Amino acid sequence: MTASCQEFEVTVHTSPGPTCGTFNGLWLSLIGSQGETPPISVTAGHHLLPGSVSFKIGPLGQLILVRLRLEAQAGFPDVNWHCSRVEVRRPAGGSGPQVFLCDRWLRPADGDVELCSGQLCLMADEREEKLKLHRLKQLQHQQQLIRWRLFVSGAPQCADLSSMLQLGPNLINPPTLSPVRNPAEAHWKEDWFFGYQCLNGCNPLLIRQIRLLPPNLAVTSDMLRPFLPKRSSLEDELKKGTIYLLDYEILDGLPANLINGKQAYLSAPLCLLHLNQQEQLVPIAIQLQHTPGPQNPVFMPSDPGSDWLLAKIWVHCMDFQCHQLISHYLRTHMMAELCCVATLRHLPDQHPLHQLLMPHVRTSLQINLQARASLLAANGVFDQVKPHLEPQHKLLPAPHSACRFSLVLVWFWFPQAVGSGLMTVPSLLSRASARLCYRSLCVPDDLSDRGVDKLPHSFYAQDARRVWDALHR
Ligand SMILES: [Fe+2]
């Protein structure tokens, strides 16, 4: 459509997806250095469908902002609109259009939404007073919407949200489904696959090379000799760097869960592994409790098959607690939420870091809110699990497949294996937060500190390093 005047020609672009259009009315104002237009109806007699609509308006000086406002239309459903951008052209100027990027959902409840154009910059480098004011208004608005809340004392804070509705359409993803495959089915009892999983399974962040045995692991060189190469010794292998350790000391002494009224148990295993001459990492000793003693035997591959298998299952079971709550929830979700909330509260849209960070943290609040509301809440997966309840994945349309895989795994395969209950979670998160250091979040440092960067079958390490290097190009 075309409006009366000569200086600007405005084109509003709706994103191309089949659900991006709306029946709502759109009002648009241009804000320039010499004034602003009153709201102009873009949609009089039209609906916003994928594509574009154009009109012309009068002189304003240098154009600074575009203000949009959606209005519900009587008799039509109130459907969100995904705006791609607004382009403003000066027909007399001869240059290309000034582009005001939007790339987000808008709805009547948002009220006025202002779009900027031009270079991203820091507040200190902003010269235009109206844009400085716009940035401050946006941050005030965001800080009212997104507030900090203490989730667990001693652990990173989270967003103070109680409902998905508070997130709005731009911070959530529609659910998608992907098939779950279980490559462990064929080999889960074999020692080489146990080591393979420590390097490349759900939780490749714990295993580390050691040069000295931990003093509380009650093994001797003689005990381990049958599992090492001929004419070698534990001391030789430690020197060569072929001895690795899984240490679950962080679980020591934590209260365990009650599952359907029955006491569950946690232990704090130590598991020694050896990189053998076939370049397989295999377990050679498992002590299930942290403090050595007569009630705390060391299990070895020479023990009866079921004993050794059960010892390995206990290690994996404790690894599951550390994986879900520390490697996954704390190091991934809670840390991402810190970045997301701080970004929303302190970096306006036109800040360069906002643009770089938001694609990575956009859906963090959604999944974390769901996790706190159901997974980590009373009667959730980490509480008194009841296998006859509805499958949890129906309640949790997780936005990325790793999360959903974990949740489905918890619900269908380990419905009674969550030894960490709601008594455990705060203590474990608090302990793990106190031990979390920046260096451990830097992939090359973490891999080399743990001595897994040069292992031949350490595919997690190789892939993580490639991703890290790509980000630093
Ligand atoms: Fe996740």
Same domain, 171 and 240: no
CA of 328 relative to ligand 1 center, distance in Å: 6
CA of 231 relative to ligand 1 center, distance in Å: 46
Please, which pLDDT band fits residue 181 given cuts at 50, 70 and 90? low
CA of 371 relative to ligand 1 center, distance in Å: 10
Same domain, 462 and 328: yes
CA of 349 relative to ligand 1 center, distance in Å: 26
The average pLDDT across 255-267 equals: 85
- CATH code of the domain covering residue 39: 2.60.60.20
Eight-class DSSP state of 298: E
CA of 206 relative to ligand 1 center, distance in Å: 18
Q: Domain for residue 110, yes or no? A: yes
DSSP H/E element including 193: helix 191-200
In the chain, what percentage of residues exceed pLDDT 90?
Answer: 53
Same domain, 166 and 70: no
Nearest Cα neighbor of 274 from 241, 304, 319 is: 241
pLDDT, one tens digit per residue, over 88-139 is: 988 777 778 899 999 889 999 999 999 998 788 998 998 888 899 999 999 9
CA of 237 relative to ligand 1 center, distance in Å: 37
CA of 333 relative to ligand 1 center, distance in Å: 6
CA gap 299, 304 in Å, rounded: 10
pLDDT at residue 55, as a whole number:
65
CA of 164 relative to ligand 1 center, distance in Å: 17
Last residue of a domain, one of 315, 348, 366: 315
In a 10 Å sphere around its CB, with 0-12 CB exposed, 13-18 middle and 19+ buried, how is residue 294 labelled?
Answer: exposed
Last residue of a domain, one of 73, 97, 118: 118
CA of 400 relative to ligand 1 center, distance in Å: 7
In a 10 Å sphere around its CB, with 0-12 CB exposed, 13-18 middle and 19+ buried, how is residue 75 labelled?
Answer: exposed
CA of 357 relative to ligand 1 center, distance in Å: 17
CA of 307 relative to ligand 1 center, distance in Å: 33
CA of 346 relative to ligand 1 center, distance in Å: 25
Residue numbers of the domain that contains 58 = 8-118
- CATH code of the domain covering residue 309: 3.10.450.60
Please say whether the beta carbons of 254 and 424 come within 8 A. Answer: yes
Same domain, 338 and 409: yes
Same domain, 248 and 357: no
CA of 166 relative to ligand 1 center, distance in Å: 21
Q: How many domains does the chain have?
A: 3
CA of 369 relative to ligand 1 center, distance in Å: 12
Last residue of a domain, one of 315, 341, 357: 315
Same domain, 424 and 390: yes
Please, which pLDDT band fits residue 304 given cuts at 50, 70 and 90? very high
In a 10 Å sphere around its CB, with 0-12 CB exposed, 13-18 middle and 19+ buried, how is residue 155 labelled?
Answer: buried
pLDDT at residue 31, as a whole number:
92
| Close Cβ partners of 394 (under 8 Å, ≥ 6 residues apart) | none
Structure tokens at 159: 């967003």
CA of 240 relative to ligand 1 center, distance in Å: 36
CA of 345 relative to ligand 1 center, distance in Å: 23
pLDDT, one tens digit per residue, over 398-420 is: 344 445 445 444 544 444 557 88
Same domain, 330 and 451: yes
